[in-house]
Amino acid sequence: MAAVAEKSYGELLLAYEPSVIKTEEENQRALKALSEILSKGESHLGKDERRFVELLSKLISDFERSAYRIGGAQPAEVLRELMRARGMRPRDLWAVFGSKGITSEVLRGKRGISKERAKTLARMFSVSAELFI
């Protein structure tokens, strides 16, 4: 795979023009931008790109925390809603849970989420691990 040239923080700001996210449409654009940047692999990101990913992640997290207030929901419901908001499929979680079967059981609420998996999901979705416990 050919190396992708690293962009400076300023170039990323100009290209993506990040701002406080106020609508679902803006959130989708931010998620798409984040996906584009991460497509070359997190281990291949330069310092400025990591800094920009951190900014976008914070903007997305802040919007989703306020837009998708989930109170009293079961962990499986929370997980399904976060996946829906990001356009994710169950297969996107197979690596987290270790198999297709376990992922399916968790999403149906037939199996609980361990503290360790909750921490992994919390990092993945930029939310509190307590949502999954």
Residue 66 has a pLDDT of 79
Residue 1 lies in a domain: no
Residue 1 has a pLDDT of 36
Element (H, E) at 27: helix 24-38
Does one domain contain both 28 and 56? Answer: yes
From CA 29, how far away is CA 35, in angstroms rounded?
10
* Inter-residue contact 124 to 96 (CB < 8 Å): yes
**Would you give the distance in Å from CA 20 to the centre of its chain?**
17
Residue 126 has a pLDDT of 84
DSSP letter (8 states) at residue 117: H
Residue 85 has a pLDDT of 87
Residue 81 lies in a domain: yes
Any residues with CB less than 8 A from the CB of 28 and at least 6 apart, and which?
none
Does one domain contain both 53 and 90? Answer: no
Does one domain contain both 14 and 32? Answer: yes
What CATH number corresponds to the domain at position 119? 1.10.260.40
Residue 38 has a pLDDT of 86
When divided into structural domains, the chain yields a total of 2
**Structural domain of 36:** 9-67
pLDDT along the chain (133 residues), means of 10: 68 93 92 87 87 92 78 85 91 94 94 94 88 86
Residue 109 has a pLDDT of 92
Does one domain contain both 57 and 88? Answer: no
